[in-house]
Structure 1
Amino acid sequence: MEKKLTKSKKDRYLLGVCGGIANYFGVDSRLIRIIFVFTPASILFYLLLGYFLHEDNNLY
């Protein structure tokens, strides 16, 4: 099965981008959120990913 980067429906606060990235790489979503908070220009990147990524269809 092919792995795809998607927004998470289960692990989300705003758009589900950090939860989707965490699921894709197999890490804790809190780590991804911390990286997004302390990275310059992360708000723009987050919004772009939120717009272009598809929703996750798996709710397991």
Structure 2
Amino acid sequence: MEKKLKRTINDKMIAGVCGGLAKYLGWDADKLRIVYVLVSILSAAFPGLLVYLILWFIMPEETELG
């Protein structure tokens, strides 16, 4: 089965971006969110909010069927 990067509709807090990334990578969504926020805060070279917004608009949302 081919994996596709999509925003989740069930495992989301804001837009489903981190939930979709976690599902694609096979990671726990909560742990990915924590790592993403920490990297965004601690690294001046990583524009976390901008990347999140871009992914929000670029990543398609998954359908009810998966």
Scaled by the length of structure 1, what TM-score is found?
Answer: 0.88
Instruction: Name structure 1 gaps, 5 residues minimum.
Output: none
Structure showing greater radius of gyration is 2
Q: State the secondary structure of the residue aligned to 1:10.
A: coil
Instruction: Describe how 1:1-60 pairs up with structure 2 within 5 A.
Output: 1-39=1-39, 40-58=46-64
Deviations 1:2-36 (A, max 9, x none): 11100000000100000000100111001110121
Counterpart AA for 1:34: I
Runs of 4+ in 1 over 6 A off after TM superposition: none
Cα displacement (A) at 1:38? 1.2
Paired residues, number? 60
Greater mean deviation of Cα atoms: 44-53 or 31-40: 31-40
Q: CA RMSD for the aligned pairs? A: 1.5
Give, in whole Å, the separation in 1 of the partners of 2:24 and 2:51. Answer: 17
Cα displacement (A) at 1:58? 4.3
Greater mean deviation of Cα atoms: 39-48 or 21-30: 39-48
Instruction: Name structure 2 gaps, 5 residues minimum.
Output: 40-45
Give, in whole Å, the separation in 2 of the partners of 1:59 and 1:32. Answer: 24
Give me the identity figure in percent.
40
